[in-house]
Amino acid sequence: MRPPQGWDHLPFFQTDWPAIRDRLERAPGWLPGPDRLFAALQATPPDRVRVIILGQDPYPTPGHANGLAFSVAPDVALPRSLRNIFAELRDDIGAPPPTGDLSGWARQGVLLLNTSLSVPPGDAGRHATWGWDRLARDAVAEAQRHGPLAFLLWGAHAQKAMAGLPRPQDLVIATAHPSPLSARRGFFGSRPFSRINDWLVTQGRTPVAWAA
């Protein structure tokens, strides 16, 4: 569970990580497990981040979480929120990825970061008060050093977690969460994927291949 290269200088790893690491070492069977704990940061170095998609914590069902926000292992059926994300993606640009594994987005500079990186099986939110949220803010601030970012903030939790961080040069798309309870309150029809790509083009940057 070593801090990921490129991000290991963040203040979080000096001030908060030692205590969280000690708690994880004493906690049985948490998800997504040590090998995937920092998967989002490992997949997307700070100088490659173009888009931030912020989630809450990993899926609490064993075998589902793969360390990327909203993403699941390739052979797992789509969770309801991800099913709605794919429905909006299909309406917006025509095609979703072939599976629920969003690693293809991460490789293109989409940082799929949860505000809490660990969860006990079947107990969503249990580790949310451990101090993980400081890592999310540190990571975003570091990514901002390398250029403007597009923030895709779904729901009140993500919007509160990122409060005060976006700058005038950043793009912010803040809508309802894609969960079945709130998707029809502003998520559906928001067309976030094409809006981000249009913005990237104005920046002279390559659009995200969202179907990858």
Beta bridge partners of 154: 175
Whether 92 sits among the annotated catalytic residues: the reply is no
Could you check whether the bond before residue 45 is cis, i.e. omega within 30 degrees of 0?
Answer: no
Q: Which of 16, 57, 133, 138 is catalytic?
A: 57
Contacts (Cβ under 8 Å, ≥6 apart) of 132: 20, 114, 115, 116, 117, 118
How far is Cα 145 from Cα 174, in angstroms, rounded to an integer? Answer: 22
Q: Residue 208: name the closest of 46, 44, 51 by CA.
A: 51
Contacts (Cβ under 8 Å, ≥6 apart) of 51: 105, 109, 110, 111, 149, 150, 151, 152, 196, 208
Catalytic residue positions? 57
